[in-house]
């Protein structure tokens, strides 16, 4: 069964001025810094497929702390890739998304990991939602630096 408009359009009838195009806002919008190329979290820095997550869980090294459990595994290519998992244990969807966004921002602000070659999966814990951003940044950077050192020792 097909559907069609109840009232056919009249040809040649002028459009309503109220439904016409709106004028452009006089104030230019501020540049969006979150989507700036330097701040973007590129696909080359992310774990994208389930197989990469599974391999990192099963064959990688694990470090736990108060706010995070981080799994890491060496990879043959240069650079580090990151994945974030937020299970339903963390809470409802709103809380899980907030925790994911906070963790993603922490990863964006990490110092350069040029010497580290590995895949990292970060499992945030429920305490991440209430912890201060500075505390989380310190804890996560220490975790990743220690795992990079462990992975570097394993490669040698």
Q: Give me the tens of pLDDT residue by residue for the chain, a chain 156 residues long.
A: 566 666 666 676 666 655 555 555 555 656 555 555 556 667 778 888 999 999 999 999 999 999 999 999 998 877 888 999 999 998 999 999 999 999 999 888 887 776 788 899 999 998 888 899 999 999 999 999 899 888 876 655
pLDDT of residue 34: 53
Helix (H) or strand (E) holding 142: helix 133-155
**Averaged pLDDT score across all residues of the chain:** 81
Q: How far apart are CA 80 and CA 78, in angstroms?
A: 7
Predicted TM-score (pTM) of the model is 0.71
Q: How far apart are CA 63 and CA 7, in angstroms?
A: 66
Helix (H) or strand (E) holding 94: helix 93-108
Domains belonging to the chain, first-starting first, are 43-149 (3.30.230.10)
Chain position carrying tokens 């989507």? 35
pLDDT of residue 78: 73
Compute how many other C-beta atoms are within 10 angstroms of the C-beta atom of residue 74: 16
Query: 9-18 long-range CB contacts below 8 Å, 24 or more apart?
Result: none
pLDDT of residue 21: 56
pLDDT of residue 2: 66
């Amino acid at each position: 069964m097909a559907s069609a408009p109840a009232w056919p359009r009249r040809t040649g009838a002028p459009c309503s001025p109220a439904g016409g195009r709106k004028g452009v806002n006089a104030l230019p919008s501020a540049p969006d810094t979150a989507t700036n190329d330097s701040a973007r979290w590129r696909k080359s820095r992310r774990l994208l497929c389930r197989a990469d997550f599974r391999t990192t869980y099963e064959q990688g090294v694990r470090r736990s702390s108060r706010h995070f459990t981080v799994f890491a595994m060496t990879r043959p290519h240069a650079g580090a890739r990151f994945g974030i998992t937020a299970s339903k244990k963390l809470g409802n969807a709103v809380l899980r998304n907030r925790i994911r966004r906070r963790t993603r921002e922490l990863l964006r602000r990490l110092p350069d990991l040029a010497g580290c070659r590995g895949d990292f999966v970060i499992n945030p814990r429920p305490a991440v939602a209430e912890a201060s951003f500075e505390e989380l940044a310190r804890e996560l950077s220490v975790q990743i630096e220690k795992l990079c050192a462990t992975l570097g020792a394993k490669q040698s």
